[in-house]
Amino acid sequence: MFLRTHSRFRRAATVAVVGACVAVGLAGTAQAAPGIPPKPVAPTAAAAGLRAYLVITAPNTTSGAKTAVATNGGTVFSSYDAIGVIVAHSSAADFATKMRAVSGVQQVGATRTTDVPSQASNPPIPAAPAQTTPTAAETNRVDMTQIGADQAWQVTTGSPSVTVGVLDTGVDDQHYDIKPNFDATKSASCAYGKLDTRAGSWRPQGDHGTHVAGTIAAAKNGKGVVGVAPGVKLASVRIAEDPSGLFFAENTICAFVFAGDQGFKVTNNSYYSDPWLFNCPNNADQAAILEGVKRAAGYAEGKGVLNVAAAGNENYNLASKSNDTTSPNDSTPTTRTITNACLSVPTELPSVLTVSSINSSNAKSSFSNFGTDKVHLAAPGDNVYSTLPGGKYGNLSGTSMASPHVAGVAALLASVNPALTPAELRARLATQADDLACSDSRCAGTTAKNNFFGEGRVDAKEAVGGGTPPTGKVFENTNDVSIPDAGAAVQSPVTVSGVSGNAPATLKVDVNIVHTFRGDLVIDLVAPDGSTYRLKASSTSDSADNVVATYTVNASTEVANGTWNLKVQDTYRSDTGYINSWKLTF
């Protein structure tokens, strides 16, 4: 279930929704009281007793187990052979018992305590929300200034070669602030445990995923909101099912494998895998869930993906577990005794970067989970303002809202250091974090590292260059300009004003161009008087994607004020692209 406010659903209350920049109340929407979750919608059965199972083998040795699934009364619904995980459906009461006796099968476990919903056989495409265009200007929000994102943008807004996957309830790709950075070619649905790449399958089932996406990378376009890394790309992998809204293990497995195969640099995971808040290894079903999701997350990391996750909203010490009263959440919860061996996934998986929530005073949010060596970083999660489906905006609270701040900073760090591995990204984020002192008696550890905030509050400014942003005036154009294939040159203007005298001898020109063969491109800076300065020549041997670079130009003979242009021409056929943004620093 996605992670918002104080309930087992980790839900966030919507304080206000803004459409066309007019605040409106959410009639009929009430905030859940602490510890009392809204009741989930009961899944609709596809057939009496049809259940979903994980059948786990050694990686790349699933063929025998697939045959056994059929002979033991089941069907293979999907398979992730590279990690040795099969998703099987069966109505046979003894299916798991029989499959556990099959040679080569290591584990078998039911992923639900209720039947598979009828939608699994033919999932509907979520409708595209009707859109409202914002009119209000972007403002410096407290969460962004709190982590230094506004200062980081003076150095970089992120690279379009970095993609952040939002594994969530789906994302409104047509939202005014999401559309410029959304990559539909890398988006899909994994609801019900099978990859669905049909157009629109990634769209929202609820508002949660769109809010998360906006915090990560809402476009810096002068209206609405701006995300932590407004220059990177967003992809949506919907894992919430309709109508229940639940995130079962097979969905999570599908999403992590897809993230690795698509080359995401970062994923954000503001949820836990239903139906168990904690999965205990002494239970055969839960042990299989633990193993399957762990393998999938490890597969993604092995492909270069940093997985960031929310810590959860139960105000619970994850390092001192004793009981769980909320599971299973797809049927009737019971009270059970648990130990620290029982884990919330993906939050507590190895190598996942786990984020707790802080308020605007840098104290732990009242709802945020904590725990020694369980929480790695902290970020703002109280009353965060971001995008909502349909061109709207609103405030939500939860560790769900904290985690995407860290995912965004990780994307900025990867933009300026593209060769860093996931382990290196984690290490640098920890080193760069701002220390936070304990805020109440339950907090254990030092200011440098404790169980409330881990290594501290994430720092975007440090991530992009050690806290030394340019000191001169910055003028930027973030409007996309298409570059015709082997066509005429195009220009993107920037109007400079308020700078006395001539331009400097070290004029900085930051260029961010999305293109599938950058060697095709010739790039010039055109001064207000028409003088041109060659920034980049074409090259038939440079087949890499994109131009994300800073050029230094001796423009000391040019008057600073006036309209400058970035001139770009594609000199060869077959590849296309666009100017994403560019800026001048005087």
SS3 476: strand
Q: Is the pLDDT of residue 355 over 80?
A: yes
Q: State the CATH class of domain 474-585.
A: mainly beta
User: Which of 6, 208, 211, 376 is an active site residue?
Assistant: 208
Residue labelled with tokens 């015709």: 484
Q: Which of 312, 482, 288 is nearest to 402 (CA)?
A: 312
Q: Is the pLDDT of residue 467 over 80?
A: no
For residue 103, count CB atoms less than 10 angstroms from its CB and return exposed for 0-12, middle for 13-18, buried for 19 or more: exposed
Tell me if residue 524 is catalytic. no
CB within 8 A of 60, min separation 6: which ones?
Answer: 81, 82, 84
Q: Compute the average pLDDT of residues 209-236.
A: 97
Tell me if residue 208 is catalytic. yes
For residue 240, count CB atoms less than 10 angstroms from its CB and return exposed for 0-12, middle for 13-18, buried for 19 or more: buried
Q: Compute the average pLDDT of residues 541-557.
A: 85
Q: What is the pLDDT of residues 311-327, one digit of tens each?
A: 999 999 999 999 999 99
CB-based contact 310:347 (threshold 8 Å): yes
CA angle 44, 47, 52 (to 5 degrees): 80
By residue count, the chain amounts to 586
Residue labelled with tokens 């303002």: 385
3-state helix, strand, coil in the chain (%, to 5): 20, 30, 50
Instruction: List every span in the chain annotated with CATH 2.60.120.260.
Output: 474-585
User: Which of 90, 115, 161, 168 is an active site residue?
Assistant: 168
- Residue 103 and residue 81: Cα distance in Å, rounded? 17
14 vs 571: which has the higher pLDDT: 571
SS3 256: helix
pTM confidence score: 0.78
466 — pLDDT class (breaks 50, 70, 90): low
The rounded mean pLDDT for the chain is 90
471 — pLDDT class (breaks 50, 70, 90): low
Three-class HEC string of 119-136 = HHHCCCCCCCCCCCCCCC
CB-based contact 148:461 (threshold 8 Å): yes
Q: Which residues sit opposite 508 in a β-bridge?
A: 552, 585
Tell me if residue 78 is catalytic. no
- What does CATH list as the number for 51-116? 3.30.70
Q: What is the pLDDT of residues 42-78, one digit of tens each?
A: 334 344 589 999 999 999 999 999 999 999 999 999 9
pLDDT value, residue 351: 86
pLDDT value, residue 38: 33
Instruction: List every span in the chain annotated with CATH 3.30.70.
Output: 51-116
Q: What is the pLDDT of residues 87-128, one digit of tens each?
A: 999 999 999 999 999 999 999 999 999 999 999 999 999 999
User: Which of 368, 400, 403, 415 is an active site residue?
Assistant: 400
Q: Compute the average pLDDT of residues 409-420.
A: 95
Q: Compute the average pLDDT of residues 454-471.
A: 80
The CATH fold assigned to 17-30+123-463 is: Rossmann fold (3.40.50)
Q: Is the pLDDT of residue 584 over 90?
A: yes
Q: Which residues sit opposite 583 in a β-bridge?
A: 476, 510
| Number of other CB atoms surrounding residue 396 within 10 Å | 25
Instruction: List every span in the chain annotated with CATH 3.40.50.200.
Output: 17-30+123-463
